[in-house]
Amino acid sequence: MIEIKNISKTFHQEKQSFKALDEVSLNIEQGDIVGIIGFSGAGKSTLIRSVNLLEKPDQGQIIINGKDLTTLNNRELARERKKIGMIFQHFNLLSSRTVFDNVALPLELDNTSKSEIAEKVNQLLKVVGLEDKAKDYPKSLSGGQKQRVAIARALANDPYLLLCDEATSALDPVTTQSILQLLKDINQRLKITILLITHEMDVIKAICNHVAVIDKGKLIAKGTLEEIVSNKENPIIKQFIIPKTATIPQSLSSQLQPELSVGLFPLLEIELNGQISFEQLLSVVHSDYKIPYKLFSAEVEYLGKSNFGKLFLSLQGGSDENEKVIQYFNQNNIQNTIKGYV
């Protein structure tokens, strides 16, 4: 069990000071995958770096298996750190070393014998799927392959905990998913606890069992994804769970009229905020109110048992019928705005 207990950290720069962490507490169970999500500057990196004391907190404790890391001397801390692996957004590989030698580095520093190093590195390269790249240099690898090397290196000392500092932020979506699946596989096969920080809900959704939300240095929510999502009225949480990319298609926005006239229908922007499912909403319009509609654009995110998102829908009934549907939306707290008439 890892206990982050009441951690605070203030940075001082010239005459200014900035509180990056404010009494943060979080318990992480062994074998769990925990994600900390927050906007840029929220304090994510400072928090994850506090766990292995790369950043020394001003107050609070990091208790791992009953041992408070903040009370250890440098030698004891170095010994504990060996059992905490870490990977970074920009991989931090040594460009002058081959893939094999990058992975071997922590073992060399630990005075491991050459034969043991060879056995361990080859086994780790197999775990991350890079057996055929042992002799290559980082510059010839893709971003995803570089992160695989970094993961193998982080596993060299058989850690019980892996810290992931925005490990997929520099990768494309497909590579991101493959790295996340590798992390999940490592968690399950090697029983390594994972703590990651991210600004992307997709990362949390893909692999985390528990989530904490950090904002302005404070943990504002923690729990399972479903528990976090149920707190959707919180404006910070809302920004993470409601996709913002659905927009009115370009071709449609040029046709949009500000006033209703004959032959035009209202175009509604509807926010799905967990109150009603996407399918139910369309069924209300089509089956209950028996109104034809045109769906122009929709982005729906399924989180836990709820769905969130935005859709642009034109109600194509008579104006009284359309009005009744809008009334239904209003009575049921389904946020909707008429963007114009098409």
Ligand X SMILES: Nc1ncnc2c1ncn2[C@@H]1O[C@H](COP(=O)(O)OP(=O)(O)OP(=O)(O)O)[C@@H](O)[C@H]1O
Which residues of the shown chain bind ligand X in the complex (CB under 6 A)?
11, 13, 18, 20, 38, 40-46, 199
Smallest distance from ligand X to CB 41, Å: 4
Q: Angle of helix 173-190 relative to helix 143-154, nearest 10 degrees?
A: 20
Among 223, 197, 200, smallest CA distance to 55 is for 197
Measured distance CA(174)–CA(235) in Å, rounded: 30
Residue placing its CB nearer to ligand X in the complex, 197 or 242:
197
- Order of all β-strands in the sheet with 293-303: 293-303, 306-315, 266-273, 336-341
Residue placing its CB nearer to ligand X in the complex, 208 or 276:
208
Q: Please name the residues in contact with 66: beta carbons below 8 A apart, sequence gap of 6 or more.
A: none
Measured distance CA(130)–CA(146) in Å, rounded: 10
Smallest distance from ligand X to CB 42, Å: 4
Smallest distance from ligand X to CB 342, Å: 40
Residue placing its CB nearer to ligand X in the complex, 198 or 306:
198
Sign of CA dihedral 2, 211, 304, 160: negative
Smallest distance from ligand X to CB 169, Å: 8
Smallest distance from ligand X to CB 35, Å: 13
Residue placing its CB nearer to ligand X in the complex, 169 or 230:
169
Smallest distance from ligand X to CB 36, Å: 9
Residues in the chain: 342
Residue placing its CB nearer to ligand X in the complex, 47 or 180:
47
DSSP assigned state of 257: B
Per DSSP, helices labelled H in 199-258 are: 201-207, 225-229, 235-241, 250-253
Per DSSP, helices labelled H in the chain are: 44-51, 74-81, 99-109, 114-127, 143-154, 173-190, 201-207, 225-229, 235-241, 250-253, 278-283, 319-331
Residue placing its CB nearer to ligand X in the complex, 81 or 90:
90
Residue placing its CB nearer to ligand X in the complex, 20 or 164:
20
Q: How many contiguous H segments (helices) and E segments (strands) does the chain have?
A: 12, 14
